[in-house]
Amino acid sequence: MRAVIQRVLQAKVEVDNQMVGRIDKGLLVYLSVGGGDTEKDAEFMADKLVNLRIFADDAGKMNRSVIDVGGSILLVSNFTLHGDCRKGRRPGFDAAADPQLAQQLYEKTIELVAGKGIAVEKGVFGGYMHVTSTNDGPLTFMLDSSRLF
């Protein structure tokens, strides 16, 4: 699994002009499932998302997690994170999981994050979405459950 994580002051996702997810302070996470991913990858990702210390403490150091600050997570599926742009001019998506597996592991990740006491909002899997956010920092991180980066 791959994720792009943004610390935000607010974020929302709309589908067909209808808001389907909205958070205030927390994390906007774009999540992609790879072809070889399993529930272990979802467990790794959920644990990292809720415990990653990227919020400032009283001294201004990044030392608090989304749990510590009482934040929320907006989790949006985004298979393009597995896009390969190294060759040619059009990305290839061979590394992305088939939609059935991807949806299963996306939903499992949401379930695991919520199980850790975090309020989770989500987009529509496979839907065409409009995502709006106000980045805080901006702070943006990439995460890969295979530890490629």
Calpha distance 26→120 (Å, rounded) = 10
If phi > 0 it is left, if psi is from -120 to 50 it is alpha, else beta; for residue 103 that is alpha
Return per-residue pLDDT of the chain as tens, 149 residues: 999 999 999 999 999 999 999 999 999 999 999 999 999 999 999 999 999 999 999 999 999 999 999 999 999 999 999 999 999 999 999 999 999 999 999 999 999 999 999 999 999 999 999 999 999 999 999 999 998 87
Quick one: pLDDT at residue 147? Answer: 87
Q: What DSSP string describes 58-74?
A: TTSSEEE-TTTTT-EEE
Calpha distance 12→28 (Å, rounded) = 9
Give the CB-side neighbour count of residue 32, counting CA atoms within 13 A: 20
Sketch out the chain's domains with CATH numbers: 2-144 (3.50.80.10)
